[in-house]
Amino acid sequence: MSYEELRNYLDLLKDQTGIFEVRVDWSVIKPEEVGAHFPAKRMGLQIAGAIAGSFFYAVQKTQHGFTEDRYAKMLKPVVYNRNGRYLGYGLKLWPREVDKMLKSDTSLQWMVSEYK
């Protein structure tokens, strides 16, 4: 996803805040400020990178066809959820076609059961 696509998505969420009960603190999230920074310069990015890596390796198969989902499962207690729903709230998956993959790929069934 490009930065422009992410900014457009955030603008769409902002426009729909009142309509669909989108809960984002827009004083903190500023779509126009989306950009790239280096983890060495910003400590919070190291944490974000570790979390993103945990989910990446949980769904991305190695050359031998294995995934490592333990870390993604360990993070569940700190992932945002709304009424017990994680997917679509604290855990956003792109592109939208990934929903079909979750239902058809047996190696991803843990995500459906763990992060409903």
CA dist., res. 37 & res. 52, Å (int): 15
Cα dihedral 41, 43, 48, 52 in deg (nearest 10)? 60
pTM score = 0.69
HSE-up (13 A, CA, CB side) for residue 100: 3
H and E: helices and strands count for the chain: 5, 0
pLDDT at 96 over 80: no
Name which residue leads in pLDDT, 53 or 89. 53
pLDDT tens, residue by residue, 15-60: 888 787 778 889 998 999 888 888 777 888 888 889 999 999 998 8
Residues 52, 33, 20, CA angle at the centre, nearest 5°?
A: 75
Residue (of 82, 103, 63, 102) closest to 24 by Cα position: 82
Mean pLDDT of the chain: 86
